């Protein structure tokens, strides 16, 4: 059993991307009420829902309520193949199974439960590898550019690199706070300096909600996994009878 079951006690349109001299293509910078910013190739309205397509194809999209969109700004982006941070095949073909395998490999490398990592990803980005927060955190596990650089992550929008970096960072925080999951998650959200200054979870509504949300989701996922394993074990035919 991985140790995390025992411990309950800047944006995409900036920097190198715009520095390229490649021919530009039209896109939209969409700001959501939850704090995430997306680069949208095009969108399609359907009643009170809007489908935001993250590339020129029809399979990579995010569905949101129209009321969740607080701003849309036209931007010009270089062609992706000429950009240092271009979307790779890994970005474009990310599936639930592919993400699970990435999380499992990262979790195994750092002895962290895959359900914990999946819960962090859900809380941080909703599983969107292109997510960018208002503060500039990027990708699936919402790495700040400086944190990503310190972790050796060159492209935070590459799912595998982002997950590996985010997992390594969470592992370092768990070690710093002696496997206290709540403190590690608070530090992941608000920064270690805030946790150290307040000698515990900072009294920030967002941080307290974040910690509760991740732990609740982790417990839910873990309980479901244990129930599934128990059910599978109960229906296995007896051997040797």
User: Which H helix or E strand runs over 71?
Assistant: strand 69-78
> Model confidence over 199-209: pLDDT tens digits?
999 999 889 98
State the pLDDT confidence band at 13, using cuts at 50, 70 and 90. Answer: very low
**Torsion angle of the four alpha carbons 176, 180, 186, 188, in this order, in degrees rounded to the nearest 10:** 50
- Region 109-121: mean pLDDT is 97
Q: What is the 3-state secondary structure (H, E, C) of 42-67?
A: EEEEECCEEEEECCCCCCCEEEEEHH
Per the confidence metrics, is the pTM higher than 0.85?
no
Which domains, and CATH codes, for the chain?
Answer: 3-9+90-130+144-230 (1.10.530.10), 24-78 (2.30.30)
pLDDT of residue 181: 95
Q: What are phi and psi of 79, to 5 degrees?
A: -60, 135
**Torsion angle of the four alpha carbons 124, 115, 103, 52, in this order, in degrees rounded to the nearest 10:** -40
The most confident of the ranges 12-16, 109-113, 131-135 is 109-113
State the pLDDT confidence band at 140, using cuts at 50, 70 and 90. Answer: very high
State the pLDDT confidence band at 17, using cuts at 50, 70 and 90. Answer: very low
Active-site annotation, residues: 124
Percent above pLDDT 90 for the chain: 46
Q: Which residue has the higher pLDDT, 27 or 130?
A: 130
Average pLDDT of the chain is 80
pLDDT of residue 12: 27
> Is the pLDDT at 11 greater than 90, yes or no?
no
Q: What is the DSSP letter of 8?
A: -
User: Are 199 and 183 spatial neighbours (Cβ–Cβ below 8 Å)?
Assistant: no
pLDDT of residue 93: 52
pLDDT of residue 123: 93
User: Are 40 and 56 spatial neighbours (Cβ–Cβ below 8 Å)?
Assistant: no
Q: Are strands 24-32 and 132-133 parallel, antiparallel or unpaired?
A: unpaired
Q: What are phi and psi of 50, to 5 degrees?
A: -130, 130
> Model confidence over 43-93: pLDDT tens digits?
888 888 988 876 676 766 778 888 888 888 776 544 433 333 444 444 445
Using CA atoms, how far apart are residues 153 and 235, in angstroms rounded to an integer?
Answer: 44
Q: Which residue has the higher pLDDT, 136 or 94?
A: 136
Q: What is the DSSP letter of 237?
A: P
> Is the pLDDT at 190 greater than 50, yes or no?
yes
User: Are 188 and 206 spatial neighbours (Cβ–Cβ below 8 Å)?
Assistant: no
Helix (H, G, I), strand (E, B) or coil at 152: coil
Helix (H, G, I), strand (E, B) or coil at 31: strand
- Region 90-119: mean pLDDT is 89
pLDDT of residue 107: 98
Using CA atoms, how far apart are residues 239 and 72, in angstroms rounded to an integer?
Answer: 62
Alpha helices, H only, the chain: 16-19, 89-92, 96-110, 114-125, 145-150, 159-176, 181-190, 192-198, 205-235
CA 57, 62, 68, 74 dihedral sign is negative
């Amino acid at each position: 059993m991985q140790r995390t079951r025992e411990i309950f006690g800047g944006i995409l349109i900036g920097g190198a991307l715009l520095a390229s001299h490649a021919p530009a293509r039209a896109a939209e910078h969409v700001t959501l009420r939850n704090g995430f910013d997306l680069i949208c190739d095009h969108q399609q309205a359907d009643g009170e829902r809007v489908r935001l397509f993250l590339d020129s194809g029809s399979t990579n999209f995010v569905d949101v309520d129209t009321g969740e969109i607080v701003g849309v700004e036209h931007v010009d982006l270089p062609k992706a193949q000429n950009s240092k941070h271009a979307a790779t095949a890994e970005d474009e073909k990310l599936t639930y199974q592919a993400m699970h395998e990435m999380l499992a490999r990262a979790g195994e490398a750092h002895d962290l439960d895959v359900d914990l990592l999946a819960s962090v990803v859900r809380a941080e980005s909703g599983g969107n590898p292109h997510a960018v927060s208002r503060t500039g955190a990027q990708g699936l596990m919402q790495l700040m550019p400086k944190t990503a650089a310190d972790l050796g992550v060159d492209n935070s929008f590459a799912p595998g690199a982002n997950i590996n970096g985010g997992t390594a960072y969470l592992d370092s925080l768990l070690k710093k706070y002696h496997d206290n999951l709540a403190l590690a998650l608070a530090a992941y959200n608000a920064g270690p300096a805030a946790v150290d200054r307040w000698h515990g979870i900072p009294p920030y509504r967002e941080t307290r909600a974040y910690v509760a949300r991740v732990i609740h989701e982790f417990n839910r996922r873990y309980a479901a996994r244990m129930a599934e394993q128990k059910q599978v074990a109960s229906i296995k035919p007896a051997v040797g009878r």
